[in-house]
Amino acid sequence: MDYIVCRLSKRALPELVHIEQDAPHPMWNERLFEQEFSHAHSRIYGVRFEGALVGFLICHAVVDEAHILNIVLKKNVRGRGLGKEFLFSVIDELHKLGIKRITLEVRVSNEVARCLYDALGFVPVGLRKNYYSDNGEDATVMSLNVRQCVMRFHQVDVPSHIGSPLGFLDRQSSVSTGGEE
């Protein structure tokens, strides 16, 4: 099984909207995704399996800090380590771009996502009360020291069920040009 991580272009909009529908609390519509493609600091990554988009991650990167706005995988590929591999691939890429710290918000009830962030070394640094507009849920703010994460994660083997490392590291030229595969 080979998963490929890459930057996405606007052509992926219908797929992004489709995958967002698999999120437990879908908050992003086509207009919001489209806006992200016009922001200079926005970076939109996807993970593909046999050509089909199975997940995405959206972040903003400014100088040496990045903020993750959203990460979603299709339901049928969750819970097998792909989220961790995908997120680490993006962290590794951001590290190469000079990003030193990554922050994000996560619903206090989202145990799997909190587990994922915790596994990569994100630590809770704050609480935003009533942060989510759909149900008033609080958000935990988490922060990652990118260099420490990269050093630690490179010492760990890729899980056997992933089959082979994500193609991302071999595809830096397409990543750095900002185009899609």
Ligand X SMILES: CC(C)(COP(=O)(O)OP(=O)(O)OC[C@H]1O[C@@H](n2cnc3c(N)ncnc32)[C@H](O)[C@@H]1OP(=O)(O)O)[C@@H](O)C(=O)NCCC(=O)NCCS
Give yes or no for residue 46 binding ligand X (CB under 6 A).
no
Residue 105 bears catalytic tag = yes
Q: Rank residues 129 and 161 by Cβ distance to ligand X and give the closer one.
A: 161
Region near ligand X per CB under 6 A, out of 1-9, 104-112, 121-129, 148-156:
104-112
Give yes or no for residue 23 binding ligand X (CB under 6 A).
yes
How far, in whole angstroms, is CA 84 from its chain's centroid?
Answer: 9
Give yes or no for residue 98 binding ligand X (CB under 6 A).
no
Give yes or no for residue 73 binding ligand X (CB under 6 A).
yes
Report the nearest approach of ligand X to the CB of residue 75 (Å): 8
Residue from 14, 24, 26, 126 touching ligand X (CB under 6 A): that is: 24
Residues that bind ligand X (CB under 6 A): 23-24, 71-73, 78-84, 106, 110-113, 115-116, 119
